[in-house]
Amino acid sequence: MIIIDRDHISGQKVTVKTNLNHVVCLLGRNSIYQRYSTTDWDTANRNNFMEAEKQRGLAERVRADLFRTVKVTDQMTRTRQQCNTRKLGIDSMLL
């Protein structure tokens, strides 16, 4: 089956060959016209920049939370060790 259609980019007639109702080949795809305008590129770049900025912010929050968790855990460990050392009657000056 052969269908004649217009290329969306160049407006030229394109022959599309289909086999079992699936598109096999599109002709005229390598036209000299741009597929994307500068506005499309600018919009895509801004979106990518904003997404990267959001991801950096989330990563920074995770790092800060992790650092705070490590500090709290370390302080709890030191406190428990000091408490248990006193309970055992061992001089804390040796540690």
Question: What pTM does this model have?
Answer: 0.48
Q: Cβ atoms within 10 A of the Cβ of 85, count?
A: 14
Residue 15, pLDDT score: 53
Average pLDDT, the chain: 77
Task: Name the DSSP class of 93.
Answer: G
Name every residue whose Cβ is closer than 8 Å to that of residue 75 and which is 6 or more positions away in sequence: none
Give me 13's structure tokens.
């007639």
Is the pLDDT assigned to residue 41 strictly greater than 80? yes
Residue 89, pLDDT score: 83
Give me 40's structure tokens.
């499309």
Residue 24, pLDDT score: 45
Element spanning 18, H or E: strand 13-19
Higher pLDDT, 89 or 20: 89
Domain boundaries, the chain: 1-35, 47-90
